[in-house]
Structure 1
Amino acid sequence: MQVIIMDARLARSRTLTLSGTRLVLAGLVFSLVLMCVAAGLYHLVFLKGAREGWPVIGDLVRLVVKDDTDQRNRFVRQNLDAMARKVGEMQARMVQLESLSDRVSGLAGIPLPASTGDKPGKAPGQGGVLVASRPLSMDELQRTLDELDAISGQRADLMTVLESRLLDQLLSKHMIPTQEPVPGHMVGSGFGWRIDPITGRSALHTGLDFPAATGSAILAAAGGVVVTQEFHPEYGNMVEIDHGNQVITRYAHASRVFVRRGDLVRRGQKIALVGTTGRSTGPHLHFEVWVQGVLQDPKKFLAAGDAATRAQSVTASVAPIAGAATPVARR
């Protein structure tokens, strides 16, 4: 590429020859100079005009800044509204949780502790007609979240207490000897005074006799620990189970025993087989209940177990009917 430079006064001309490399370098230099000039003009004119509030440039800057601020505010408001809706859903679920804990505590027979409201963590009764609503601010949303966090903590503590109480009740229930030791067999001889079948004289019968075929299963009346497993001259093969709270059950005249001293047994576990060992006239189980070292009539405990079983059966049969009769709202 050739560039001809002419001087009119001197009537002279000069020719410059640019190769490809020189042409590229010249273009780069020109572009760099143009960028520097543009940056200088921007700094001198636009920024200075924005700082000093020149009429046109200041208005343009304020318009750009205002638009950017509006967009940022709209974005923040949309996020706050979304968070407010989530908080509303959390509050609704918290109300459901409060109602559930009230029902559970009622079923467990555990009174709830008193608080400033009707229930722990619940604000006093409020209500009224919604006249107008407004968006929540960040501070209000934060306060609401803090309140929900405090209420959820209180409810978690309450449910922990309920769980502990229900577990205690469950353990107590399973540690009370209400399970029939020989299911399906009637009592042959009851607790109290009777004519002794061997001597023919009046004597105190210290338990219940369950006549059954030799080899019939003997079940633990409740969960506990085996404290005695031995052969007794009168009781024959005998097992004693400690159920805690100074409650002990005794199973006598067994033909075979499946547990040993120190074993943990659960309610309804097979611990022995019916036999006629010891002082006995025929195959049967002699069953005793001791409370704080005093003999008790086992029939009272077994009757309580039968009543609980019947109540559970009635509840199970009524629940499906009640559920079918309750209309389900759908949206």
Structure 2
Amino acid sequence: MQILITHSSLSASRVLHFSRLQLALALAGLLVVLTLLSGTVYHVIFLKAAREGWPIVGSVVGMIGRDEGAARERYLRENLDAMARKVGEMQARLVQLEAQGDRISGMAGFKPQDLRPLQRAKDGGGSGGPFVPADVPGSVRTTEQLADLLGALEQRADQSADVFTLIESRLFEKRLAALMVPNSRPVEGPVGSGFGFRADPFSGRAALHTGLDFPADVGTPIHAAAGGVVQAVEFHPQYGHMLELDHGRGLVTRYAHASRVMVKVGDLVKRGQLVAQVGSTGRSTGPHLHFEVLVEGVQQDPAKFLSVPESPALASAAMGSTRP
């Protein structure tokens, strides 16, 4: 790019040569100068006019400031309302969870007074303050109110989490206790002699039969009626090859007349695990499992635990009977 300069005082015209790079730098410099100039004018003139209240410029600046403030306030108001509505939904959901927790706590065996210490601990011994419902957006007018409401919701959420943790623990205890109750049949098949007095198959005299008999072929699998620990594996003159499982809380199951025992003392067994095989060892008239349930060392009726109806015909049969 060339610029030709001529003047009457000059004996000859002057020619200035500019490259593209020089021209771009010149334009950039001009833009920077104009930006600085406009900023200076704004700060020196408009801000000063706004502060000192110049007649015309001050009113224009005031209108611009009011418009910007109104737009900012409207933006904050809209966002605050949206957040308040969201908090209202959270509050409604939390109320539903608390009601659900109350129902589940009753199912878990908790009484209302059991949870009151937890409520008092969370409340810190007292409460108060204005009520600000979260489901009405217009009631939340400041970010401070919204922050307070969120804090209260967080405290209630923590309390509900603690309640559900306590309920889960209680339900787990009940499930664990249920796993330790011998209510699974140790042998598939009908029940022979039941618990109670009967004619002894060897002497013919009335005698107490202390368990349930499950007639089955030799080698039929015998499964643990519940989870527990093997506390005894031995040969008994009357029970033959037998084992005992300790289920805790004074509850023991006994499996007698086995042909083979598959576990050893100290083993931890699960419900339904194979522990022995049916036989006819000891005082027995034929292959069967003699199954007993003992509470604190006293034989109980296993049918009450198994909830298995006995067959009257089989109950009177002498096959596979035993008398320990």
1:59-117 CA distances to partner (integer Å, 9 max, x unpaired)? Answer: 1221222222222212211211111121111112112212221222232332233659x
Question: How many residues are matched?
Answer: 291
Residue of structure 2 aligned with 1:249, choices 253, 270, 275: 253
Aligned AA (1:81): D
8 Å contact from structure 1 (residues 275, 283) kept in 2: yes
The yes-or-no answer on 1:293 pairing with 2:297 is: yes
**What is the DSSP-based 3-state SS (H/G/I as helix, E as strand, rest coil) of the residue aligned with 1:278?**
coil
CA contact (8 A) 1:115 1:121 kept: no
- Partner residue in 1 for 2:56: 56
2:7 aligned residue: 5
Match of 1:128 in 2: none
Q: CA deviation at 1:217?
A: 2.5
Picking from 186, 189, 210, the partner of 1:184 is 189
Q: Is the 8 A contact 1:179 1:302 kept in 2?
A: yes
- CA RMSD in angstroms comes to 3.5
Q: CA deviation at 1:283?
A: 0.6
1:160 aligns with 2:165: yes
The 5 A counterparts of 1:24-63 are: 28=26, 31=30, 35=34, 41-42=41-42, 44-63=44-63
Letter in 2 for 1:195: A
Q: Is the 8 A contact 1:210 1:286 kept in 2?
A: yes
Give the unaligned 5+ runs of structure 2. 128-135, 310-324
**Residues 186-205 of structure 1 deviation map (CA, whole Å, 9 limit, x = unaligned):** 2x223334333223444433
Partner AA of 2:256 in structure 1: A
Q: 2:229 maps to which residue? A: 225
Where does residue 76 of structure 1 map in the other structure? 76
Asked whether 1:18 is paired with 2:22, we answer no
Separation in 2, partners of 1:115, 1:80: 35
Which amino acid in structure 1 is aligned with residue 232 of structure 2?
A: T
User: Is the alpha carbon distance of 1:78 and 1:15 closer, same or farther for their aligned partners in structure 2, counting shifts above 3 Å?
Assistant: farther
- Which residue in 2 is equivalent to 1:91? 91
Q: CA deviation at 1:133?
A: 7.0
> Normalization by structure 1: what TM-score?
0.75
Ranked by relative contact order (alpha carbons within 8 Å, sequence separation 6 or more), the top structure is: 2
CA contact (8 A) 1:258 1:270 kept: yes
Counterpart residue identity of residue 193, structure 2: S
User: Shift of the alpha carbon at 1:44?
Assistant: 4.3
**CA distance in structure 2 between the partners assigned to 1:203 and 1:90 by the alignment:** 68
User: What is residue 214 of structure 1 aligned with on the other side?
Assistant: 218
Answer with 87-96 or 236-245: which moved more: 87-96
Aligned residues with identical type, % of pairs: 50
Structure 1 residue 141: Cα displacement: 1.6
Q: Aligned runs of 1:97-176 on 2, under 5 Å?
A: 97-113=97-113, 134-137=138-141, 138-176=143-181
Q: What is the SS of the residue equivalent to 2:112? A: coil
Partner of 1:273: 277
SS at 1:271 equivalent: strand
- 1:33 offset after TM fit, Å? 11
Q: Are the counterparts in 1 of residues 81 and 137 from structure 2 also a CA contact under 8 Å? A: no
Distance 1:159 1:203 in 2: 52
2:189, 2:214 within 8 Å by CA — same for their partners in 1? no
Matching of residue 195 in structure 1 with residue 199 in structure 2: yes
CA deviation profile, 1:174-219 (whole Å, cap 9, x unmatched): 2111222223312x22333433322344443322222222222322
Task: Report the more deviating stretch, 58-67 or 31-40.
Answer: 31-40
Q: Could you tell me how far 1:242 is from its partner in structure 2?
A: 0.4
Kindly provide the CA deviation profile for residues 247-301 of structure 1, in whole angstroms up to 9, marking residues without a partner as x: 1110001122222222222222232221101221101111111111222222322
Distance (whole Å) between structure 2 residues aligned to residue 148 and residue 161 of structure 1: 20
